[in-house]
Structure 1
Amino acid sequence: MLDRLKSLVHKKEKHWCGACLFELPPAAKLLPSDISGRYEYAFAESDSHEFTPALLIESSKRGCDRCAALASAFEKLGVANFKEASWQPNLNSPGSPTLEITDANDAVQVFEVCSSEAPLGEPAFFTDDAPPHAVLCRGYKISRTTGDDDALDQAGKWLKDCQAHEKCQIEDAGFVPSRLLYLGSKRTDTDVLDVVENLESVPYAALSHRWTDETPSISLLTTNLSDRKQHGMPIANLPQMMQDVVLVLHRLGIEYVWIDSLCIVQDDKEDWKREAAKMALIYANAELTVAASWCDRPRQSLFRDHGHEVPVDLAEVNGQSIFIRRRKPHLTWSEEPMVEDPDTEWPLLSRGWVYQEQLLSRRMLHFTRNELIWECLETTQCECGWYDSNMRHQSTRDSYKRSPADKAWVEIIKGYAKRPLTVMTDRLPALAGIGKAMAAVKGYESAEYLCGMWEKELEESFFWYLTEPPHEKPDIRLPSWSWASVVGDVECWQLSLEDIEFSGNNVVYAGDALMGDMVSGMICLSGHVASGVVYHGQEWADTVKAGGRKGLDVLTGEGATDEVGLKLGEQFATFSPDYRFDMPGSGHVDSGSQIVCLLFGRNSLIEVDDVGDSVETITSYILILRPLNGTPLRYERIGVCRECIELDVFMRQSERHQLTVV
């Protein structure tokens, strides 16, 4: 790398500051830490370049005005007493260049050196006309508040640009929700929202928000529907967040809005079911969905002032203004969150109902703590320009918004299952919109929907397991084989099945299948089955101790808990339960209960022994089922044992059977 860098040295040698990495003024005294030729030499031997507070001070005193500006910026940004700073060009990983500061508490704070003129698409390294800094990214100074004219003008531009996107066009131009709130300019009274019903086709917006303690007080009820239709709804009576949404839509020229609490009669069960079943159409056909992404408390504004986090100017080079700012979190669809606590940063986006609102909306305008963020099917944008800089690595594109048609159903399950719901009976209704959208794309019939899984994709989703500690079993009427019957993050076994055959199913619904109105549900399948016993609590501890006296080790299952275990033949193994067994109610499982273990997968592990030979161990993936009293060959699932019991040991104890799981 060093030889290539040297080959690019300009005839007229330049000198770059070893601390700030800007070009040195001609009159500045040279220091041993400085770089000559090209500033990229600072990274010839390492992927980063460090400097200390002492070097920054020394460089400032010798005449480097950029180091003086950087020291001043650190004061304003609250990191003046840092321990070490590190320039990170991030050449070999997705993401824009950064400056990482280790503060006095050993915490790492991340900053960006930005210019609105910085190049996109490739790093500055090895370019003939290099930018004025080695660790520079495209960035813009944002508005002081997400509700000022500049911010809302930017939102209007995003909307206008998106209206020309081919992928983002409306699918059903004739669809309109049963009720809308009218806030248009055709009315002289601008202090009241009108509840209007059965309109012909009109553009409308939808609101995605988290209910708070003040939301029920303005909800639409049967007792006030007629009065509100006749006299309207005073805007001043709405929560502040909703008042702000009205202001935004006025600015964007959208005259109608759909808000769940105000457009569904909340105390009318049939109206709620009917309108909730239309969620896919409501969000997919909205001209825009406004997301109150940072709001989670009563009396909160949609807008937020972040003037205390303003960027700090560092330099102007050839008319190009360069500034430093603290790096802000940005939402993505990646499984790896951009922040340590995304539920605090974007509390709206962690909720169960909001998953389908975000996934189904063609266009979404997020109001976050720091800036406006735009999502549509062709682009993701923000006021600060972070997405522009971080999209240069094409592999990151899967982290951004895609339509349901572009996702596998198991991916939908993974994204949704971990999201909490206030009312657990909403487990399937809150997913119904995505289910309907998926059915329309793939040509599925509602009768093929099996309590959160599609019959034609059953092999990919039936063998799910929790990836977090078990919770109490929720009191909802769903079969035990459905992932929706438990609470928590789940994964699905998607490799080849181990001699499993599905022989039929029978799920009976009282109403809309996708809304989860189930009466009964069973699935029949056959495979290799072995008998065992399940233990938990003190009895499991005593069983383990007794086995230890006989020289029997406890096999540890992948993702298992220490509180429960099973005995299969002479083997003891921990496993991952679907829910807590020690709670009263339908989820209670007596320690010492008979179980059956159904083999559904295998995993191969190759290790090198002490003499250097390769040893292959094949372990099993097993579904744990318990028999129902008085119903021969009918079982309910209670957990999964992964990667601990050797396959050949299991097979010696098993026989092939057909089972009915309910």
Structure 2
Amino acid sequence: MAEPDCPNGLWDEHLGTAIDIQEFRDCSRTNECAYCGMLLDIITHTKPSWLTDESSTRDLSIAIKPRERWVFNTNLSLPNSKGSGSIRLLEDGQQIDSVQLFKPITDVQKLSLISWDRYEKLLFGESLDIAPSSDSAIAFERASHWLKDCADNHSCYTDAQRSFLPSRMLRLEESEAASSVQLVERSAVSASPYAALSYCWGKDTSGVIITTKANYSSHLKGIPVISLPKTVQDAITVCRRLGIYLLWVDALCIVQDDGEDWRREAEKMIDVYFNSFLTISANEPNSCKLGFLGPQRFGSSEWQQSVPVQVPPGLGGPASHLLFRDSQMERPKLFSLDSRGWCLQESVMPRRRLVFDGCELSWNCMEKMFCECGHLDEEACGIYPLLRTGRHADEEDDDDELSIYAKLHLEWMDFVEQYSQRALTKSSDKLIAISGVVRLFQTRFAKSKSNETEKDKQILGLLRNLVVKNSYMPPGISDGYFSGLWGDCFIPNLTWTVDHTQLEKSDRMEHRKIEDSVSPSWSWASIDGPVTFRHMEISIGVWRERMNPELTFDAVVHETYQRIGLGLWNKDEGMQEAPMNGGDYDMFVEATCEEVIIV
């Protein structure tokens, strides 16, 4: 593809630098430059105030900012989250405004086939024309395409997943006109794909239909759809339009006033989401009474406009229009579902997720991510791939500097950081709410770890004697897990500290100790507030740079215990008395890390 052929070179060697607006005007008028002419047309349609007579008296310049090339992720390579380059307006050298533009495409699949021509893809992102409503035919056509593409071409859904069914599900009739759904037990259903719903109940649950001991028999006969919360009604609509006729909803598939049933089914919740054919995530709204199908914020003309401009060949043309988006209208930093502690494992574990957030439709499976707007979120790309895929030691890449086992520990610490930013109705549930993920991590650790040595056994024995008496261990978890810390990575797991950066971004003024916590003070779960393992991030680089480059993760952990183990255990009682962020303990942990890793 030809590069932009600007006679004055404004689109080549000066790309990214500030250029006086008058230079683009002169080049367009004098040389009939198609590229500078296109730029002025874009500004005329999107930011006409940049070209007014009054602006000619100001020191205004334009900078064409290319799009960054890549975000590298553990198992995915994706464009960066900005989605497009930008045209920026500067006054006296300071940016005061900007424009982002996208080339509209109609083929859903092409969103994942982004090549990197220097100019075309670095200046203009690619995007679908976002559906005005998530309840529209075009929205469901896209969702159906994503699901079919994954089912036909990916290995996200295995035979093991196909053989699993929850204890109870809602059976749906194929016809959207059907007026009822039926609660069915597993024994009454042959192996068939089911969908799971992840959503917010909301604070006001008055009048919301749930399954209880009193209405259980009635629900087995049928439940009027119109009596269900709007979010559940919308999930039923999604399932029917995608050809899925079994749906799991916690409020209806767990007997809510039966403590034994609730505990038993709550422990299986991780398996329900992990084995679902599809998980429907209603990130918004924050109440099940409101529903999630309807107008999409990014599909409105306020956020997305078609700009009639002629795009020259050197910038990906010929094309007759681009999509202009208001850079000031962004998605919320945190959706309602993403702020709830209990919901994290619901977003981590599904192998396929169709997400409705009120802004746009998006897709996330084990192999690909799509969103309508083309802004792929770096932080959401391929989250916890080793935990979700189950790769283990005999699948390791010889070129990797860290083993799968070590990477799993890093995934755990990242998981803790993300989880600590979420809210729980009962702070004392902090460890209980992730017991399913803990069980899965333990399974993954067992598969990825080399044979247990005598030293491993000695370390775990020491931990059992010193800390297990004060630790919380959820049902189904064997030795090696102590109140949110893993025994074979205990010292690195101790290096948590309060994340004051995230704390300042939150709506709380300070972190606090959980009074009725089941966790000892040396556990990150003993406080209500965001934490980080910043020391651990530094340590990994130090292992390779300042010590033996061939030193393994396991060896560092063992060396850690040898050097400071006795000193740490002697401080055990003091650790349980002192809050983690009181100062002295933070300094002790930091000094510990420096001694072990750097010396």
What TM-score results when the alignment is normalised by the length of structure 2? 0.68
Equivalent positions of 1:292-441 (< 5 A) are 292-297=282-287, 298-305=289-296, 306-308=299-301, 309-317=303-311, 319-326=318-325, 342-343=333-334, 346-387=335-376, 400=383, 402-404=385-387, 405=390, 407-408=408-409, 409-441=412-444
Contact 1:294–1:347 at 8 Å: present in 2 too? yes
Equivalent positions of 1:34-49 (< 5 A) are 35-36=7-8, 39-43=11-15, 47-49=16-18
Give the Cα separation in 1 of the matches to 2:268 and 2:192.
17
Deviations for 1:294-332, whole angstroms, at most 9, x for unmatched residues?
A: 3224524333333222332332446434403227799xx
Structure 1 counterpart of 2:207, from 208, 214, 217: 217
Give the Cα separation in 1 of the matches to 2:96 and 2:269.
44
Structure with more contact order per residue of length (Cα contacts < 8 Å, sep ≥ 6): 2
Q: Judging changes above 3 Å, is the alpha-carbon distance between structure 1 residues 85 and 241 closer, same or farther for their aligned structure 2 residues?
A: farther
Unaligned 5+ segments in structure 2 are 72-79, 312-316, 391-406, 448-475, 501-509, 540-555
Task: Please name the residue that 1:484 is paired with.
Answer: 525
Give the Cα separation in 2 of the matches to 1:316 and 1:303.
34
For the residue of structure 2 that corresponds to 1:158, the secondary structure is helix
Structure 2 counterpart of 1:526, from 546, 566, 584: 566
**What letter is aligned with 1:302?**
L
Contact 1:473–1:486 at 8 Å: present in 2 too? yes
Q: Give the number of the structure whose residues are more often strand, by fraction.
A: 1
The yes-or-no answer on 1:190 pairing with 2:178 is: yes
Task: Please name the residue that 1:446 is paired with.
Answer: 477
Task: Please name the residue that 2:74 is paired with.
Answer: none
Give the Cα separation in 2 of the matches to 1:79 and 1:194.
63
Structure 2 counterpart of 1:247, from 222, 237, 241: 237
Contact 1:195–1:229 at 8 Å: present in 2 too? yes
Give the Cα separation in 2 of the matches to 1:624 and 1:74.
63
Larger radius of gyration: 1
Q: Judging changes above 3 Å, is the alpha-carbon distance between structure 1 residues 470 and 214 closer, same or farther for their aligned structure 2 residues?
A: closer
Structure 1 position 114, deviation (Å) = 2.2
Equivalent residues, number: 478
Task: Please name the residue that 1:87 is paired with.
Answer: 64
Contact 2:197–2:281 at 8 Å: present in 1 too? yes
Contact 1:280–1:436 at 8 Å: present in 2 too? no
Task: Please name the residue that 1:625 is paired with.
Answer: 575
The percent of aligned pairs where both chains have the same amino acid is 24
**What letter is aligned with 2:319?**
Q
Contact 2:46–2:324 at 8 Å: present in 1 too? no
Contact 2:134–2:361 at 8 Å: present in 1 too? yes
Query: What is the Cα-based RMSD across aligned positions, in Å?
Result: 4.4
Equivalent positions of 1:585-600 (< 5 A) are none
Contact 2:100–2:325 at 8 Å: present in 1 too? yes
Q: Judging changes above 3 Å, is the alpha-carbon distance between structure 1 residues 450 and 237 closer, same or farther for their aligned structure 2 residues?
A: same
Task: Please name the residue that 1:74 is paired with.
Answer: 46
Q: Judging changes above 3 Å, is the alpha-carbon distance between structure 1 residues 231 and 475 closer, same or farther for their aligned structure 2 residues?
A: same
Give the Cα separation in 1 of the matches to 2:368 and 2:374.
12
Contact 2:283–2:357 at 8 Å: present in 1 too? yes
Give the Cα separation in 2 of the matches to 1:441 and 1:77.
58
Give the Cα separation in 2 of the matches to 1:163 and 1:78.
49
Structure 1 position 209, deviation (Å) = 0.8
User: Which deviates the most, 638-647 or 310-319?
Assistant: 638-647
What TM-score results when the alignment is normalised by the length of structure 1? 0.62
Q: Give the number of the structure whose residues are more often helix, by fraction.
A: 2
Q: Judging changes above 3 Å, is the alpha-carbon distance between structure 1 residues 134 and 159 closer, same or farther for their aligned structure 2 residues?
A: closer
Task: Please name the residue that 2:126 is paired with.
Answer: 138
Contact 1:66–1:314 at 8 Å: present in 2 too? no
User: Which deviates the most, 293-302 or 635-644?
Assistant: 635-644
Unaligned 5+ segments in structure 1 are 1-7, 17-34, 126-130, 331-338, 504-523, 530-595, 599-622, 628-634, 652-662
Give the Cα separation in 2 of the matches to 1:177 and 1:68.
59
**What letter is aligned with 1:89?**
P
Task: Please name the residue that 1:467 is paired with.
Answer: 499
Task: Please name the residue that 1:98 is paired with.
Answer: 85
Contact 1:184–1:254 at 8 Å: present in 2 too? no
Contact 2:183–2:222 at 8 Å: present in 1 too? yes
